[in-house]
Chain A
Amino acid sequence: MGKRSALVVLSSDDEEIDRSLSSNRGRTRSSSASRLISSAPAKNPGRAKKARVSGSRSSLGSVSTNWDEVRLSFGDFDEVFSGGSKVAAGSGRSNVKELWVEKYKPHSLEELAVHKKKVQEVKGWFEERLTDSKGKSSNHALVITGQAGVGKSATIHVIASQLAATLCEWNTPTPIVWQEHLYNSSTGVQYMSKLEEFENFVERVRKYGLIPSSLSEGSKSSIILLIDDLPVTNGKVAFQRLQKCLRLLVQSTRTPTAILITDHGKADSEDHTAGYLDELQLSLQSAGACKVSFNPITSNSIKKVLSRICKEEQCNVTAEQVDLIAKASGGDIRNAITSLQFFFLKPTPMHSLPSSITPPRYAKGKQAPWSAKGKSDMVNALDNSGSLQFGRDDTLSLFHALGKFLHNKRETEDSMELDGAAFHVREGLSRLPLKMDAPEKILCQAHGQARPIADFLHENVLDFVSEEAMDDAWSVASYLSDADLLLTTFCGMLSRQYEAENVLQSAGASVAVRGVLFGNFHPLPSRWHAVRRPNLWQVEKSSFYNKKEMVNRRFGAYSGTCSSDLTVIATEYSPVYKWLGFRAQGGLEDNVERMSLGDQESEIDDDIEEW
């Protein structure tokens, strides 16, 4: 590949270059000398700037062959650049090296890491639409879903080039910065939201069809419309506009259209967009779109791609390392490739890794760390080693984390005991090792707040305690009460000390979680179980409401000259009013109804299944 010898220009960060150079074995020695050399496009500041903008590869490739010459002829420039002029620094950063993700973009169907069947499915769909363009088939829209980095766009690009179709792509325009907006408005250009722009685009497509700007061969080449990136919608109204507009597009388009929707997965449960996107998919399907969902790429496919890249980059890497990276990426190939590249940038490559790595806690002394123990161990090893900073950190949904805590899975035997070195605790206090990461780590991944987590645990934990184990129930309850104390203190005196507040919060969450894990010594055998929303929230809300009602009623019934304490009202006056049937206006009955918990309780938010 000719492009490989991309030039390295002076950068403000020498060390970085050092690393990239030393790690890249494929390069000739002379390239190490190139770090003081400006690239050819930087003949004058103006051009250098242009080069940065366009990032043109071709010129780099051709020039790089005779860069010695360049070096001679532009020797004086070196001084200028090493003087640290802005332009040099700017252009330096731009063409450091090509990203492998770009470089090894799939160009043929074979190179795609996506599952063959899915690719065939999509390709077949496009072929069908493109061959009988006279419109026998009614629907011309294809919705492709999948999490980030599973090759949705890449598949479409490859298929389009295979079918020799022109690909028209909608990408949401770049955001307008404030200065730009000021400039625009001074010249009379109205601001348009991205959603509006998208709507206009769709409108145009629907009315006039797609007319690619470079339509030289006339009707010969067929067109595929690709809507990559949907505009971000915020709020219900905007979302409904987007939905309506997409529905119209799906119903009326005559060109084969692929709409890509990135699944955020359930992980971001905080994010409402996830729910919106589901809704969007359903509505598009009901409008006649065909849906194909891409699964995360299997680690085998990723491995294949990675080893191919390794071969081409001529870097030697063991199968195990590739395996590790592939697993750590969680089915995201873009991430895997970037990780691989980053991995080879590191000053000390991973050759020594397997020996230096500390084995995961609970496998101590029993198994070689690399013996097959499944994915979680491997990933664990990655995290524990501290020498690998890549890989996607999995995010867990709050419910997943809660499920882990509540089900309280443990090893069947204690490996620590075999060690002999472990200190002994009193009988009844020792617990088997957890079959999960440290609870604090799970808490981090689940980005839950301490308070709601404690509430959720409190609401649900009793369902997971064995019927006989009353003592367990007590110790859990008492730990939760401790956690409540920790979570409370901050709101009074420490309100200014955010740091202390943070520590307290995490300590509180930790006590709650570990208390639940420790206290529940005899968990029920795991089974399917629904997690309830804390009833407590509803109780708090309605008691606040009732409080107001009560006080008002008291004042209303008695236009007297004193108010009473809420306690007295609640415990003495209200029952009497009830007894007396509230003679004054008989309005009590409604209130009584409102006061009870009634049917609002125990909505089931989400289910946990057995993990």
Chain B
Amino acid sequence: MKAEGRIRIEKGKAAGRGRERVHDFPPLLPSEESKMLWVDKYRPKTLDQAMVHQDTAQNLKKLVAEQDCPHLLFYGPSGSGKKTLIIALIRQIFGPSADKVKVENRTWKVDAGSRTIDIELTTLSSTNHIELNPSDAGFQDRYIVQEIIKEMAKNRPIDTKGKKGYKILVLNEVDKLSREAQHSLRRTMEKYSAYCRLILCCNSSSKVTEAIRSRCLNVRINAPTDEQIVKALEFIGKKEGLQLPSGFAAHIAEKSNRSLRRAILSLETCHVQQYPFTSNQIIPSMDWEEYVSEIVSDIMKEQSPKRLYLVRQKLYELLVNCIPPEIILKRLLYELLKKLDAELKHEVCHWAAYYEHRMRLGQKAIFHLEAFVAKFMSIYKAFLIAAFG
């Protein structure tokens, strides 16, 4: 494959070397593999190596062996292996050239009616595929979808046998795309289906419009079972030469909430924290989760505007660290419910759902997060007064 199939950048900062924006971090040589996270290091490279979802992997292999690949929609919970399958699939189609990827911060100039909009987005691309998160562009995501697909169609690659090939566009987080973007995605899918294939990836297919779902082959990726996670952990343990005490892997698997990624990350942090492992070792939770439970204990201790202000500052701290507000709210509710009297649970859940909905409609998450906390405080305070006078 020649490089002429690559999409050229008009005005991007990364016009020269792909890694320009990330020069702080020298590229890792294969010998430096030890510095990679285990999650990345032991990620199955081919469809044959897949440890979970072997049957799906085999099916996919057969599918692309027949030389034509439909549009694909992968959906399933986080940490179930969607991305791994996608990469392996791409490698299956294009061979080792798919490994040579580069990261770019690209700027698109989009002509939107009266003005031109500059949209900056990080993409990851090889000669044959491009991967990007269009939803990062906010409400301008539809332009991204249209532009990039058009551009791809312009530079149609020709494979070695002179046959016209196609490129693959991987779109992450399709469920977060706006409705407009999904509509324009649908149209472009039809128009350019000869030139490129789309691989869409999302957590929940319910937020993807029917039109798109029916044009794709839907592949549901289930969360791995605890046994599968244990197997994967033990595999890694063996490769790293670690002693896993009995029950330890199961312990991690249970804590991981059936997310394989989470489990492997936990294993690695445990390894840093204490080795050799003991079977009842505390598995460190994510720092932001601890922070949320700290917030919750703040809320439970006192209910006043002043405390609400304090909570707000802590929520800000989470938002600054890019923890998505929906996840904060979910976690907050989860932690609150643990400490709550049964008769309040229903009402609190109702309000959490209410403000979660508004958060999606609104723009500034903190307004809604705070309104939820305030509502909770107000309910809880009334409850305390009623109960204890």
Contacts and interface: CB of A to CB of B under 8 A. Distances in A.
A96 interface: no
A578 B358 contact: no
A462 B366 CA distance: 14
Interface stretch (B145-153, B156-164, B318-326): B318-326
Interface string A537-576: 0010011001100111101111111111111111111111
Contacts of B180: 492-493
A551 B78 CA distance: 18
Interface stretch (B186-194, B221-229, B305-313): B305-313
A583 B35 contact: yes
A563 B104 CA distance: 11
Given A551-B122, A572-B262, A596-B317, A485 B305 contact: no
Nearest to A482: B358
B281 interface: no
B322 A485 contact: no
Contacts of A560: 36, 40, 43, 101
Interface stretch (A21-29, A145-153, A255-263, A465-473): A465-473
Given A477-B367, A555-B103, A470 B378 contact: yes
A567 B306 contact: no
A474 interface: yes
A563 B21 CA distance: 15
B190 to A, nearest CB: 23
Interface stretch (B204-212, B247-255, B264-272): B264-272
Nearest to B132: A563
B127 interface: no
Interface residues of B, number: 81
Contact of A462 (B84, B305, B321): B305
A210 B269 CA distance: 82
Contacts of A562: 83-84, 86-87, 124, 131
B141 to A, nearest CB: 11
A477 B374 contact: yes
Interface stretch (B48-56, B63-71, B284-292, B339-347): B284-292
Contact of A480 (B84, B90, B269, B367): B367
Contact of B24 (A455, A485, A552): A552
A478 interface: yes
Interface residues of A, number: 74
B15 interface: no
A470 B28 contact: no
B288 A575 contact: yes
B280 to A, nearest CB: 20
Contacts of A550: 322
Contacts of B131: 562-563
Contacts of A555: 22, 25, 103, 122, 124
A467 B306 contact: yes
A548 to B, nearest CB: 8
A458 interface: yes
A553 to B, nearest CB: 7
A478 B359 CA distance: 12
A559 B358 contact: no
Contacts of B269: 576, 579-580
Nearest to A587: B24
A473 B378 contact: yes
B381 interface: yes
A535 interface: yes
A565 B86 contact: no
Contacts of B86: 562
A313 interface: no
A344 to B, nearest CB: 49
A17 interface: no
Contacts of A491: 139, 363
B317 A473 contact: no
A584 B24 CA distance: 11
Contacts of A481: 355, 358, 362, 367-368, 371
Interface in A462-515: 462-463, 465-474, 476-478, 480-481, 483-485, 487-489, 491-493, 496
A226 to B, nearest CB: 48
Nearest to A485: B362
Contacts of B133: 563, 565-566
A491 B362 CA distance: 11
A597 interface: yes
B362 A580 contact: no
Contacts of A186: none
A480 B324 contact: no
Interface in A431-462: 454-455, 458, 462
B378 A484 contact: no
A559 B27 contact: yes
Contact of B25 (A462, A463, A556, A580): A556
A535 B370 CA distance: 14
A563 B102 CA distance: 11
A571 B286 contact: yes
Contacts of B370: 458, 477
Contacts of B26: 585
B316 A535 contact: yes
Interface of B: 21-22, 24-28, 32, 35-37, 40, 43, 78, 83-84, 86-87, 90-91, 98-99, 101, 103, 113, 122, 124, 126, 131-133, 136, 139, 172-173, 178, 180, 261-262, 265, 268-269, 272-273, 284, 286-288, 303-306, 308-309, 312-313, 316-317, 319-324, 327, 355, 358, 361-364, 366-368, 370-371, 374-375, 377-378, 381
Given A571-B323, A580-B269, 6 more contacts: A455-B364, A463-B305, A467-B304, A480-B367, A485-B362, A561-B98
6 contacts: A462-B305, A474-B374, A535-B316, A539-B320, A560-B101, A561-B126
